[in-house]
Structure 1
Amino acid sequence: MSEKQEFDSRLQAVLRRVYGEQIALASANRLSGGASQETWLLTLSGTGAPDTLILRRAPEGMEATDDSRAIGLPNEARLIRKAAATGVAVPEVVHVLEPDEGVGEGFIMSRVEGETIARRILRDDEYAKAREHLPAQCGRALAGIHRIDGSDVPRIRESTGLAQVEQYEQTYQEIGVCRPIFDLAIVWLKENAPKPLAPLLVHGDFRLGNIMVDEQGLAAVLDWELAHYGDPREDIGWMCTNSWRFGQSEKRLGGFGDVEPLLEAYAEAGGAEFTPRDIDWWDMLGSMKWGIMCMGMYETFRSGADASVERAAIGRRVSETEMDLVNLLEGQRHA
């Protein structure tokens, strides 16, 4: 029996544990993921179960470690279930993998129909109505996320805005490349840090690419592995970061809308009342963070640690974030 056949056999046993012996795994096809985390489309036959499901897994030996920013897939599943209980649109978690099942660490969830590719969401006519609805829908979703009590979920850490500035400054210094606009942005962020708010659960990577969108708008919030306790403005500012507008820079919110409708819906759904200027600092933080991440990805390519074209291509985007930081700093100077 091949390794793939053994994997399929174990996965079928898991599905039968959940749905009964009448279920068979027709196919398991890997969709995406890196070396440490994978996404699979499962097609089932038989009665009493959905036709398709999604498996998120880390193979044995590739689980998130304690020093990782990721909370680990079992904890991600717990947060998704909590999000569903607060009314946030998420996939249904149908099973969390057990160690004795031999499939790795992860969970099986429902398949949500829609689109995650930003270029299509922002440009295709079939998502025109969705783009109108998304700002308010995202505001309501974030209000729900920020209400989640994750106190009983392990490995959710606290990360304030200033702590992230210090973290990424250290990474920048370790990379050892002098890019003056990042030095200036770091100084500005330290000198203009807003008064911190009481930490709430934040998604940590709320943006196009990590939400499922259908023709009516927000269908599901995905990819919760970077959830942590922090300032709720962080999630809003991250979606406003110019890199996540995917070329539609005139629309501050994700390239699809204005931030004001999100802020209004967020407050109406029980979140705090913020103004667009309250998000400016977090917008700057987002561009600084992503730029330094891009530097790090190029460094892994340059060093040979990961010689993939993807790492090199992302590394080239540092210059985009430099221009974003110039524009943001100029905007603050004239504000």
Structure 2
Amino acid sequence: MAVTTPSATLAEGVRAVLAAATGTEFAGAEVRRLTGGASREIYAVRATDHTGRETTAVLRRDPPGRGEIDRMRAEVACLRAAAAAGVPVPEVLASGDTAPGIDAPYLLMNTVPGESIPRKLQRDPGFAAVRAHLAEDFGYVLGLVHRTPVTTLTALDDRDPLDAIEKTYRDLAEPRPTVEIGLRWLRDNRPPDRAACLVHGDFRLGNLLIDADGIRGVLDWELAHLGNPIEDLGWLCVRAWRFGAAAPVGGLGTRDQLLDGYQRATGDRPSAAELHWWVVFGTLKWLVLSRFQAERHLGGAEHSLELAAIGRRVCESEYDLLDVLGLLEAAPGDSAPQAPAPTVHDRPDLTEILELVTETLTGEIGPALPEDATAQRYLLRICVSLLQIGGRELRAGAGPSDRVHDLLRALDCPSEAALAERLRTGALAGRDPRVRAAVNAAVEARLRVSDPRRLG
């Protein structure tokens, strides 16, 4: 009879890889899943040798069964090339296409000290001194990234980013007037191109480790590619990456500070118009990628509360896109909600039920969770947000949707998709006052339900 050898656990697999990388024999290892990562799993690793001394590391791996070997190899190459160019990045300890227990393409790095949570960096007193120069530091480090030699990075994607994001949008088969307006503006106003260099692709708060002295580590290189360097600068200025703060660069500083640091590293200072184009591009890109992420849940590929919730946040980027294009109109005041239709059901009514459940989750269940229940607290916040969205939609009634449909009918468009198609073909123009009224009304109706604070 054949003997089946038990497969290695993730902790055992990481221990073996770490031991081979460091030349240390470890008595045991623990792995703890961390939140974050757009498409990869991230784990904190703690290994103990036979004397009791601890070694820490960070594991990034593809989800088993959905590995992308070439992309992981490219990320490893980026980290090594960037480190050689002086970019503050974690050290690659080991990497591979797979290993027993890890069972997917992986990357093992040293642990870099620092904080990555945006709101802590923006508000905590311990970061008060470093906040004064972080925007300039961002520009300087991006300059180092863009000066990185690319001779070893031939596997990186070098497609035109505007063509790529338009293809992603078209493949979703969900025409949106705001995207059509943005695409037309980007095509008509594109600045001269630059020589291709290493572009990080997601340089922002959340992907940076920062301490009281400055930037200690640039993380998450999975979206790195070869392209125009100003793409990174524009992405950092997208409103979504301010995380609710007012300052235009990550909620921490000014564009002039960002460009000062970039000029110090590269000798080059992009114009305001060039940077603005890439801010518009980044805003549209995040709009499309948000809808793309939501589609993973909505299309049935991955059942996920988090991805489902992202679907209701697409309107935030629609609003931001209209804003950066100068097409945003003042939102009208809250209209009185419609009286509810007669119902056979007893009280509490549906809005009251949603409010009661929200109060219970935030007031009783949340505080009762243990301190280390980070993932559960994160999911709880998403649940509460979705319940609040549902309540606001019920209270709004049909009035806002009816107003949008009236404005669309005035344009001889039965739907927003029809309006988007006419914008794509040029039959209607984005700056037509009637188009602006319809698009603004639709985005404002969605945003008033999903995130009314964004309307001020």
Q: Secondary structure at the match of 2:326?
A: helix
Q: Does 1:93 align with 2:89?
A: no
Q: Does 1:144 align with 2:144?
A: yes
Match of 1:155 in 2: 155
Match of 2:71 in 1: 72
- Residues 308-327 of structure 1 mapped to structure 2, 5 A cutoff: 308-327=304-323
- Quote the Cα distance in structure 2 between the aligned partners of 1:108 and 1:247: 33
Q: Does 1:26 align with 2:29?
A: yes
- Quote the Cα distance in structure 2 between the aligned partners of 1:39 and 1:138: 24
- Quote the Cα distance in structure 2 between the aligned partners of 1:20 and 1:299: 45
- Residues 28-47 of structure 1 mapped to structure 2, 5 A cutoff: 28-32=31-35, 37-46=40-49
Moved more, 178-187 or 121-130: 121-130
- Quote the Cα distance in structure 2 between the aligned partners of 1:97 and 1:80: 14
- Quote the Cα distance in structure 1 between the aligned partners of 2:151 and 2:306: 36
Higher helix share: 2
Look up the equivalent residue of 1:203 and give its one-letter code.
H
Q: Secondary structure at the match of 2:175?
A: coil
Q: Does 1:174 align with 2:171?
A: yes
Q: Deviations over 1:206-239 (max 9, x none)?
A: 1111111222221110011111111110000000
Match of 1:290 in 2: 286
1:48 to 1:196, Cα distance in 2 relative to 1, 3 A = farther
- Quote the Cα distance in structure 2 between the aligned partners of 1:107 and 1:265: 31
Look up the equivalent residue of 1:77 and give its one-letter code.
V
Q: Does 1:302 align with 2:306?
A: no
Q: Is the 8 A contact 1:135 1:262 kept in 2?
A: yes
Q: Secondary structure at the match of 2:108?
A: strand
- Quote the Cα distance in structure 2 between the aligned partners of 1:268 and 1:210: 23
Cα displacement (A) at 1:15: 2.1
1:156 to 1:48, Cα distance in 2 relative to 1, 3 A = farther
Over alpha carbons, which structure has the higher Rg?
Answer: 2
Match of 1:123 in 2: 123
Q: 2:213 aligns with which of 213, 216, 223?
A: 216
Residue segments in structure 1 that go unaligned for 5+ positions in a row: 66-70
Q: Does 1:112 align with 2:109?
A: no
- Quote the Cα distance in structure 1 between the aligned partners of 2:221 and 2:313: 24
Look up the equivalent residue of 2:278 and give its one-letter code.
W
- Quote the Cα distance in structure 1 between the aligned partners of 2:76 and 2:53: 20
1:50 to 1:136, Cα distance in 2 relative to 1, 3 A = farther
Match of 2:195 in 1: 198
Cα displacement (A) at 1:290: 0.7
Q: Does 1:281 align with 2:284?
A: no
1:166 to 1:81, Cα distance in 2 relative to 1, 3 A = closer
Q: Secondary structure at the match of 1:40?
A: strand
Residue segments in structure 2 that go unaligned for 5+ positions in a row: 329-430, 432-456
- Quote the Cα distance in structure 2 between the aligned partners of 1:182 and 1:209: 26
Q: Is the 8 A contact 1:16 1:24 kept in 2?
A: no
Q: Secondary structure at the match of 2:166?
A: helix
Look up the equivalent residue of 1:26 and give its one-letter code.
A
Q: Secondary structure at the match of 2:9?
A: helix
Match of 1:53 in 2: 57
- Quote the Cα distance in structure 2 between the aligned partners of 1:59 and 1:284: 33
- Quote the Cα distance in structure 2 between the aligned partners of 1:49 and 1:36: 33
Look up the equivalent residue of 2:203 and give its one-letter code.
F
Cα displacement (A) at 1:331: 7.4
1:49 to 1:260, Cα distance in 2 relative to 1, 3 A = farther
Q: 2:19 aligns with which of 13, 16, 39?
A: 16
Match of 1:63 in 2: 67
Look up the equivalent residue of 1:12 and give its one-letter code.
R
1:39 to 1:127, Cα distance in 2 relative to 1, 3 A = same
Cα displacement (A) at 1:192: 0.2
Q: Secondary structure at the match of 2:273?
A: helix
What percentage of residue pairs aligned between the two structures are identical? 37
- Quote the Cα distance in structure 2 between the aligned partners of 1:108 and 1:165: 33
Cα displacement (A) at 1:24: 2.9
- Quote the Cα distance in structure 2 between the aligned partners of 1:293 and 1:59: 20
Cα displacement (A) at 1:59: 5.0
- Quote the Cα distance in structure 2 between the aligned partners of 1:97 and 1:297: 27
Look up the equivalent residue of 1:258 and give its one-letter code.
T
Cα displacement (A) at 1:40: 1.3
Look up the equivalent residue of 1:28 and give its one-letter code.
V
- Quote the Cα distance in structure 2 between the aligned partners of 1:298 and 1:29: 26
1:167 to 1:78, Cα distance in 2 relative to 1, 3 A = closer
Moved more, 318-327 or 33-42: 33-42
1:62 to 1:263, Cα distance in 2 relative to 1, 3 A = same
Moved more, 219-228 or 35-44: 35-44
1:154 to 1:275, Cα distance in 2 relative to 1, 3 A = closer
Whose RCO is larger (CA < 8 A, sep 6+)?
1
Moved more, 26-35 or 202-211: 26-35
Q: Secondary structure at the match of 1:253?
A: coil
